Structure 1
C-alpha cells in the first residue's frame, strides 16, 4: 500500500507560501509585485509584446493584466505603443526604469533560487527541476487524464 503523500495539496500550500513571501520581499526591495516582475522578465526576452500574449504566458486574465500594466505604466516601468503591423494591437515595451528594476529583480530571483535549492544535493536539485518541468509541460494531462501517464513514464521528460 502506497503512502498518501498529498502532493497536490502540498504543492498548493507551498506555492501560496512561497509567492506570498516573494511578493512581500519584492515589494520591500523593489517596490514591485512578483506579477509585475514577471511581466518585466517576459518583456526582457521579447520586448514589444501585446497584452494578450503576455497574459497567455503568465496564465493571467487579460483584464487583470491590463490593470497591472496600467500601474506599471504609471510607475514608468513600461509603455504602451500601437503595433506597426496592426494599429488595433497595443504592444508593451520596457522603459529604462523597468530595465533597472529588472536587473535588481534578477538578483533577487537568483537569491530565491539559491535559497530554495540550498538544502538539496546536486542530484536532488536535478530531480526537483525535472519534476517541476514535467508538471509545467504535462499539467493538463496529469489532472484531466487526456493521456494517462503510466507508472515509470514520468522520468522520460
Structure 2
C-alpha cells in the first residue's frame, strides 16, 4: 500500500492515464476520441439533448462542447438542429453511424473494464466504487 496519500493528486493521475488509454483505444478501434464516445453514450441514453445539457452532463464548458459537436457532426455521428422554441439553442441527436460506432464500442469498453478490474476482489471493487461515487457526489452538492 503506498504511503503517499495525496488523493487528489493520485485521482488526477489515474484519470489522466485512464482517459489517455481509452482515447488511444477508441481512436484505433473506432476512429473517434474517448470524449466523443462518452458523448455518444450520453446521447443514446437521453435520445436527444440540448448542447448546454450535454455540457453539464459531461462536465465540460460550452465552448468545448461546441467544438465537440462540430467535429461529431462533420464525422456524421450526430445531427445538430436549432431548437424549435429557442433559435439560440442546439438540439443534438445521434445518427445511425453514431449508433453503429456505439455497438462496436461495447467490446472495447468490456475489455477496458476487465483491464481495470483484474486482480481486484469484488469487495475491493465495491470499496473503489463507493469511493468514486462519493467523490462524484461532491460535485453535485
Q: Scaled by the length of structure 1, what TM-score is found?
A: 0.82
Instruction: Determine helix, strand or coil for the equivalent of 2:81.
Output: strand
Once the two structures are superposed, the pairs formed by residues 90-105 of structure 1 within 5 Å of their partners are 90-105=90-105
* Alpha-carbon RMSD: 1.6
TM superposition shift of 1:140: 7.3
TM superposition shift of 1:87: 3.8
Q: Is 1:124 aligned to 2:124, yes or no?
A: yes
Q: Distance in 2 between matches of 1:76 and 1:112?
A: 26
Q: Is 1:76 aligned to 2:71, yes or no?
A: no
- Note the residue ranges of structure 1 that are not aligned, 5 or more in a row: 142-157
Distance change >3 Å, CA 45–CA 29, structure 1 → 2: same
The aligned counterpart of 1:14 is 14
Distance change >3 Å, CA 77–CA 117, structure 1 → 2: same
- Deviation string for 1:69-125 (max 9, x for gaps)? 111111111011222343432200100000001112232122211211111001111
TM superposition shift of 1:16: 1.1
Q: Which structure has the greater CA radius of gyration?
A: 1
Structure 1 runs (4+) deviating above 2 angstroms are 82-89
The aligned counterpart of 1:86 is 86
Q: Distance in 2 between matches of 1:139 and 1:50?
A: 21
Once the two structures are superposed, the pairs formed by residues 1-157 of structure 1 within 5 Å of their partners are 4-139=4-139
Q: Distance in 1 between matches of 2:56 and 2:140?
A: 15
TM superposition shift of 1:4: 4.7
Q: Scaled by the length of structure 2, what TM-score is found?
A: 0.91
Report 1 or 2 for greater relative contact order, CA contacts < 8 Å, sequence distance ≥ 6: 2
